[in-house]
Amino acid sequence: MAEPAWMNDVRKLVGKEYGRVYAWDAVNAPMIRHWCEIMGIANPRYAKRAPATMLQVWCLEGPTQNNYPPGSTTENPYEALKLIEAQGYASVVAVNSDLEFERELQLDERIYYSTRLDSIGEQKTTGLGTGWFVTLIMTYFSQRDGQADEKVGQQLFRVFKFKPAQAAPAAKPAAAAADATSTAPPKIKRPAPGMSDDTRFFWDGAREGKLLIQRCKSCGVLRHPPGPVCTACHSFEWDSVQSKGLGKVYSFVVMHYPEVPPFDYPNPVALVELDEGTRLVAQLVGAKPGEVAIGQRVQVEFATFDTADGGDIALPQFRPVSG
């Protein structure tokens, strides 16, 4: 498959090294403790050192886009993706995120990473569409006074940047075809969620405007996401209860990039803690990204969307409420 001429300019970026992105804080005990609590890790080993798998945490920008510490680069390491996107290849899917760790980090170490555009594969056509596999390498270093900085880890991040394949339209009656004048491309639809015997009740309830929570019939513990076995008593017997649909924002993220159709951006997504005690991830509606706050009260509402498989799906979303 012959590549478009504009791709030659994009390929010139391969091998480019982007500047440093520094961590806001040195490796510290409070962040280690909070991370371990969230991940369910109780190991005294991490009283004075950080789990290796925390590596990416130290250099996160936070809820505000591009909010990096002074001295960090202002270059966009995803500029190749932007150039490809400008040519109509608007969709992206993550393919690989491979992390390598040299060692655990010690308290008070200061971390930064730099990014290199490692490769852009040949143009490929997959079931998703036609595009390119783009690979970036993020290398993490520990700053050392008076000594060469030490490499402590590396991430290989690969995405497929593509133009979605469009299903062939159904044949139209001759009269209707003659009247058709629109040449607008079909609207990209949402992917259908995976369903199993353990989760079907949840989606069926949403279709009826009910937010259902799985409940263990043996010990009464509520759990979400649904699963085949109770994590508290290991019973396989369960039923469901209807939530009142009220809760609070336990945590949230505002998605800015990559912009994946058909979602609107910026796209606030929250981890909502229901009044019944369980938590679920859902999109926030009726909320300006800059006004979302931890602890904000929200209430469920349901919206129905067409899906890429030709069906539709009812999704629980949450809207801020007073009180």
Please give the pLDDT value at position 192.
78
Higher pLDDT, 291 or 193: 291
Asked whether the predicted pLDDT for residue 167 surpasses 80, the reply is no
Q: What angle (nearest 5°) sits at the alpha carbon of residue 211, between those of residues 209 and 284?
A: 90
Q: Closest by alpha carbon to 143, among 59, 34, 29, 33?
A: 59
Asked whether the predicted pLDDT for residue 41 surpasses 80, the reply is yes
Asked whether the predicted pLDDT for residue 40 surpasses 60, the reply is yes
Write down all domains in the chain, each with its CATH number in brackets. 7-164 (3.10.129.10), 200-320 (no CATH)
Where does residue 285 rank: exposed (0-12), middle (13-18), buried (19+ CB within 10 A)?
middle
Max mean pLDDT range (60-69, 80-89, 182-191): 80-89
How far apart are alpha carbons 147 and 188 in whole angstroms? 52
- For the chain, percent of residues with pLDDT exceeding 70: 92
pTM, 2 dp: 0.56
CB 282 within 8 A of CB 268: no
Q: What is the mean pLDDT of residues 51-73?
A: 88
For the stretch 231-261, pLDDT in tens is 889 999 999 999 999 999 999 998 887 677 7
| pLDDT-derived band at 1, boundaries 50, 70, 90 | low
Which are the contacts of 100, defined by CB distance < 8 A and separation ≥ 6? 153, 154, 155
The number of beta carbons lying within 10 Å of the beta carbon of residue 9 is 10
Question: What DSSP element (H or E) covers 30?
Answer: helix 29-39
Please give the pLDDT value at position 284.
93
Where does residue 296 rank: exposed (0-12), middle (13-18), buried (19+ CB within 10 A)?
buried
Please give the pLDDT value at position 276.
95
| pLDDT-derived band at 291, boundaries 50, 70, 90 | confident
Asked whether the predicted pLDDT for residue 181 surpasses 80, the reply is no
Asked whether the predicted pLDDT for residue 168 surpasses 90, the reply is no
